Structure 1
């Protein structure tokens, strides 16, 4: 045997082998078990030849983890981390180390999935409930959801909420105060235009009352720092039957009257400055609060308090399926994600500091701002705003450029407003030395005395009108007062983490929602300050590292998809759908085809598809599927022909939501194009295509790419995510931009779908690292193994459960649907019973009752080992044996391990055991569980009770202590 060469030793295949679960020998054995001579033979028989790529992706080979980290360092070092005084809704902050290390950097928190299965999600549900309580307290509103994508999106959602609930004023006009953040105005305007809402921007004091409008948006404090009593303005609006949303600064709300007290109908904002890095734009948890009367119309997710089957308190997502998956095109929102991980961080930040600590932080910010105002006043500089919290704006005329240049020379950034004004915003990281530096920047002279010399001249809360000052009437729940020591905080977070199942504990086999390895190396750069500490509107010359990384990532994604251009702006898959449809809409308009507004959507589509189409102002026409789960091509052709004059597009998921490579996809694209439409391929299942086929090459015009699936950004317990879009060259001119920092190469008047130019930019290094680590060959092999693993599971289960849909050769794609309906009819055991029983085996359940009611959709991903795949299959086979025992009368039909699942430790150790089956069968259905058992925190949660008795704030602390 010859000795390998140095080049062979340095080809860095190690990471590929670490990312992909089954070994090479196991892959061969699994393929043979499926009846194929090799993995490639399976792929050739599964993926239609007509869509296969002719050329490999133009990507470098796999890099070592050390090289990738070194390259990331090179990119990071090109970024210049200046002290930011830009404001506009983004601020420097201190992330407490205990939260950074134990939440943000902890896979127990960041690899968990959305809490659709509440029994294995009680930890993050409790943290999100605390977030809701925090938001309700600070906004003064009766209801809050579990977070939104960003402040701009939240404001757009608030606009549509006010339109839905305002039964007295059916106007189509919405007022936006001219001193709202510019990016928020842009996002709301884009949403409004597609929905035929007329937006009027101006001085709200003049517009409200004189303009017939269903709603209005006010900023509090204003973007230029103005802090006015908006109570009389809200009263005036209500007299005119205009409802009001207030976009509020959460830090300011610690010192000023809450919008709820001032009469607001909805309150939105960003919790970024509660310990979440700016990250060049995100991810951050926006908040959304409103009146309790509007709870049935509130967008997003609401965490509610329910009970389990024993009557004990249990948490769940209230009304969790009321939007996309049931209401579809009638959904009030396409927001199917939150920013759970960041909301949890913000909630823990509030708990760690408590109300007194938070107030002190806010008071210090406000006092430093007042010292700056006093020091500049001594230099004859008067701010434009008479009152302030943390922001001052000065009209400086021709001196703007000179002052801004001095700031840059000092390593800091001011906000440039027009050609003659400058804004300066302070934050919790600001110091007295910063104030002295700012005085020198503005005046051109070193201050003759330090800012502290003005200390006695600045009254408490100087700058805040007396009538707006707020005492601590918030965060009185013990949760915000019991965990100020790091020891207690650390233990509390650990207790919550242990209640949940995340990827660091077991496989999460959710179909349609890939949960694969989020490698530690991929995650490292997220918390580097060079990526995390940049303001999203920092000057381009300070963000060269991001620019290079984004350009490289765009190339990577273009190679993976076959498209000509990429937009990184959408910060969720739902936003990607929306952005893609807007690009199609603008394309048709540019050609004079304003009438093209019909969107064809298969009946099997993700629920976000029709919801997104409705938000983009399109008319939805459903295309039926045949008995095998494929799109009915005859129905498609008939409806395309019927709508040949007004067809805008089709939205299709490929491989299909049924987990099948449909043979007709190229014909489908041809039919739609023939009738003047565009083809939108939902990228939810792109992980079954990368390296094998490219939507941009087989006929699609646009796709969104779930970076939180295919490209390894973690789900974060229900967010963050990223949904960039890839488009053909003809759609590229219509990609979204930003009003504050326009995206190079695009018309500045283009649509805006997220608050920042590149969405949640700080997590983009994760996907860059994944592609760099895998290389083109590794990405292709990952796709093949994802298909192999899915077919292996289908093969092992097919003799025990029906597999609902397969392709023409009998294979599935990257996921399979297990049909429970025949078993339910024969035994009375439902798909929910099986899902909950899997918890007793230590597994998160597959996707339940989607896309077909009464089924379980399983997706193993390429990252799960053969051992874990077998453990999962063994669990489902053991459950099938229990179902058979029910059918045979060996287990009682109403008292068996399935209908009573999941079983808690309290069940098993209870002195009384009244079930017909043993404790051992309940807790240890397979012997391997004795080596490491997961115990759910609660029994099966009562969903109906939780919806009928909606309670979305923190219960009394005794209920938590009893649980512990």
Structure 2
């Protein structure tokens, strides 16, 4: 074995495994399998034009050299991004820990209680600091959260407002520029009219349904908005506030003014800048909007035995259920980053946060007085961490400051702002004074005052307490926090324990060598708005990754800005919309979507201002071409796009795909390909070959960015030549196409730090390794399919009986035994496995995707578990609910209790196969009571005793 070949470490199947697997699935070799799986007319005629893969140590040396091209300045730009100090105990035990970063979204609550508790802490932190009643478990970034606030308030307008056509949304001129750009993007297709102005001059006239304020303002001024909010309430205008979370430690929380929504980012709670992301946004609101709030909500409920349990609450809000009725891509989240931010609050506690906020604020006051003593005019009357200055010679100030390794926010020819942060030192303040005295030719000695006056007036000063719950007052030593993090980690089943074979989600290996650079300062400490010559390492990586993705997809251009798959869908459709408008065909607004599509597809289409037309699937699960032709002919004049997943959501390479894409083009539409299943395409076919015009890619699926329990995700779009001019831009840093749409996410290149992972994945695998990974993914799926044959039947296959990289197994026949697919999912926990995707896209089924990373031994363990469960189903009498499946999962408390009232042994319950006892994972709770939790919604750290009598 060549120990330097990364593919041998990433791909779990060895050369000696192949003969056994080929025999099981009845093929002679890999070429035969691929020929029987992928239609010949879409197979690539030549290999990927990418370099040969490099070894892990070569990649780490390369990425180290690349990082040295980034210049880490003392950066005081602000504008929603601030240097933050990640406590080492959190960096080592969460960010660098596969027990946290390889977990999946906590749909299976019984094996995700640790992550759910960490997210509950996050929600509690947000509600306490904002003064609101309810918070979600994170969104993508501050700007997208603000856009979600605008659209949610639009959705919950009063009946009278809807009748009167109230579509105006006031936006304060104090808003961050990237947020304003994103509000423009989201408002246009929904018919919302943005009105930007001074909040003090706002007239509260009819036609407005909402308003957005920034607190503190983009250049630091802290306004007392209480009067504005009161007048807005009197006029039935709902108010959202974008707030700096650290400032809320000292400032009156917006919830105390009666606002409807508070949004922001938790980046400055221990999350690296990372050239723009990933960071966890927050969204807090009133309980009356609980069924409209975007994002996932973690709620408290009880399990079968009445014990306290956590789970994702109100899941019927998710677009997989609401589809085209969804008003938001609500399942997008940044869980790993939210966990880190929540732990930052746990570690520091209320007193620690007060110390940090007071230090930042005191330093800002000192700097302000020091600069004024030099004769520099400071314009903010009240501020937290940012001051705005009138300067005689901004150009020279910029030259001098950058020469001293300092970045400021240069507003215009006469003004500059400075934002301080947790990492600012007294030496930094002296350096800043020196920059001004030198650049402005001030001969007076610059010095910091020893005493400064209070600057925050009484109405703006926070009086209320926060973070009083025990969890925020117990773990302030490293020893205690380390143990608390480990305690939670033990409750979660992640990829470091066993295979997670989730169809459509591709839970593959996230190699350590791909992850290591994320902790390096030269990657983590770069502000997204620094001059490009300070981010040459990032720019080289970004341009290389875009080029790699262009080659893999066959397209001409790529934007890395979308920071989730759902954002990628939305971006792709908005680019198509802009393309049609550029051709004076803005009337094209019909988006055709197959019935089997991902739930995010119709939600994204509606958000992009399109009307959804659903087409049927045939008995084989493929797109019904006759029905599609009928719908296309009917809507030919207004056809905007077809959204198609390929291979299909049913795990099949549909042979009619070229006919389908040609049909759309003949009638003036564009083809959007959902890239969820790219793991079956890379190196073998591509979106351009099948006739698509744009696709999004889930870098957190096919390209190895870890799911992190539900985020970070990255969803770049790749486009054909005609769509390239419309790629999204940014208002602060020039990027995107010449006719680019406005921003899709806050940062110019989205979650740039996470893109390092996919860059490493492609760089180390190379052309051959990428193709081999795809082939093995297809082989593994077909191996599982044939091993389960006769026990679990696959619902759909290709014309030659092959699955793609995933398959749907039908569990509906077991209803005659009283067994539902959920019972099988819960029983798999007793065998040490996370269930495959349940009841999507077909109710009562499981979608299994093993990926290329798993070994043959692990595939066999999973198959053995499924076969054993099938035997258990056969043992169940239809009228006997007290059985091993219905009672699953079995907890340690159950198995060790003095009483055992079950008609099967403890051994069968907990150790059903020999391998389980060698590496037992114990679910920490029994099945959760979803209905109870939704009826009694509690989404903060309130003990269950508070509502146990309800």
TM-score band w.r.t. shorter chain: over 0.9
Moved more, 124-133 or 210-219: 210-219
Q: CA deviation at 1:751?
A: 1.9
- Contact 2:501/2:507, CA 8 A, preserved across alignment: yes
Residue matched to 2:112: 121
- Contact 2:727/2:737, CA 8 A, preserved across alignment: no
Q: Does 1:48 align with 2:43?
A: no
SS in 1 for 2:618: coil
Superposition map of 1:163-174 within 5 A: 163-167=154-158, 168-170=160-162, 171-174=166-169
Residue matched to 1:930: 917
Residue matched to 1:863: 853
Superposition map of 1:544-563 within 5 A: 544-563=536-555
Residue matched to 1:253: 248
Superposition map of 1:871-886 within 5 A: 871-886=861-876
- Contact 2:503/2:847, CA 8 A, preserved across alignment: yes
Residue matched to 1:295: 290
Q: CA deviation at 1:212?
A: 3.0
Give the Cα–Cα distance (whole angstroms) in 2 for the partners of residues 496 and 446 of structure 1: 56
Equivalent position to 2:646, from 650, 654, 658: 654
Give the Cα–Cα distance (whole angstroms) in 2 for the partners of residues 955 and 451 of structure 1: 49
- How many residue pairs align between the two structures? 941
Aligned-residue Cα RMSD (Å) equals: 1.5
Q: CA deviation at 1:57?
A: 0.9
Q: Does 1:811 align with 2:802?
A: yes
SS in 2 for 1:645: helix
Q: CA deviation at 1:744?
A: 5.8
**1:152/1:802 Cα in 2 relative to 1: closer, same or farther (>3 Å)?**
same
**1:674/1:12 Cα in 2 relative to 1: closer, same or farther (>3 Å)?**
farther
SS in 1 for 2:257: coil
Q: Does 1:237 align with 2:232?
A: yes
Q: Does 1:918 align with 2:908?
A: no
Residue matched to 2:792: 801
Q: Does 1:107 align with 2:92?
A: no
Residue matched to 1:495: 487
Residue matched to 1:189: 184
Give the Cα–Cα distance (whole angstroms) in 2 for the partners of residues 292 and 632 of structure 1: 43
Residue matched to 2:337: 342
Equivalent position to 2:54, from 63, 67, 84: 63
Q: CA deviation at 1:534?
A: 0.3
- Contact 1:432/1:451, CA 8 A, preserved across alignment: no
Give the Cα–Cα distance (whole angstroms) in 1 for the partners of residues 537 and 123 of structure 2: 36
Give the Cα–Cα distance (whole angstroms) in 2 for the partners of residues 635 and 862 of structure 1: 36
Residue matched to 1:5: none
Q: Any stretches of 5+ residues in structure 1 without a counterpart? A: 1-8, 960-964
Q: Any stretches of 5+ residues in structure 2 without a counterpart? A: none
Residue matched to 1:3: none
Residue matched to 2:409: 415
- Contact 2:433/2:446, CA 8 A, preserved across alignment: no
Equivalent position to 2:584, from 586, 592, 595: 592
Equivalent position to 2:513, from 509, 512, 521: 521
**1:833/1:446 Cα in 2 relative to 1: closer, same or farther (>3 Å)?**
farther
Q: CA deviation at 1:169?
A: 3.0
CA-to-aligned-CA distance 1:45-94 (integer Å, 9 cap, x gap)? 11111110012111000101111111111211111011110000100111
CA-to-aligned-CA distance 1:68-122 (integer Å, 9 cap, x gap)? 1111112111110111100001001110000000000000000000001000100
Q: CA deviation at 1:745?
A: 5.2
Give the Cα–Cα distance (whole angstroms) in 2 for the partners of residues 610 and 208 of structure 1: 37
Give the Cα–Cα distance (whole angstroms) in 1 for the partners of residues 928 and 943 of structure 2: 19
Give the Cα–Cα distance (whole angstroms) in 1 for the partners of residues 403 and 939 of structure 2: 49
Residue matched to 1:282: 277
- Contact 1:212/1:240, CA 8 A, preserved across alignment: no
Q: Does 1:86 align with 2:77?
A: yes
SS in 1 for 2:734: coil
**1:229/1:797 Cα in 2 relative to 1: closer, same or farther (>3 Å)?**
same
Q: Does 1:567 align with 2:559?
A: yes
SS in 2 for 1:514: coil
Give the Cα–Cα distance (whole angstroms) in 2 for the partners of residues 433 and 547 of structure 1: 30
Equivalent position to 1:427, from 416, 421, 424: 421
Residue matched to 1:962: none
Q: Does 1:830 align with 2:850?
A: no
- Contact 1:254/1:472, CA 8 A, preserved across alignment: no
Superposition map of 1:291-330 within 5 A: 291-330=286-325
Residue matched to 1:157: 148
CA-to-aligned-CA distance 1:285-340 (integer Å, 9 cap, x gap)? 00000001110110110000011111111000001242211110001211322100
**1:159/1:208 Cα in 2 relative to 1: closer, same or farther (>3 Å)?**
farther
SS in 2 for 1:764: helix
Give the Cα–Cα distance (whole angstroms) in 2 for the partners of residues 424 and 869 of structure 1: 56
SS in 2 for 1:87: coil
Moved more, 833-842 or 201-210: 201-210
Give the Cα–Cα distance (whole angstroms) in 1 for the partners of residues 364 and 206 of structure 2: 36
Give the Cα–Cα distance (whole angstroms) in 1 for the partners of residues 11 and 884 of structure 2: 34
Q: Does 1:762 align with 2:757?
A: no
Q: Does 1:32 align with 2:27?
A: no
Q: Does 1:785 align with 2:776?
A: yes
Q: Does 1:853 align with 2:865?
A: no
Q: Does 1:387 align with 2:387?
A: no
Q: CA deviation at 1:746?
A: 3.1
Residue matched to 1:692: 684
Residue matched to 2:220: 225
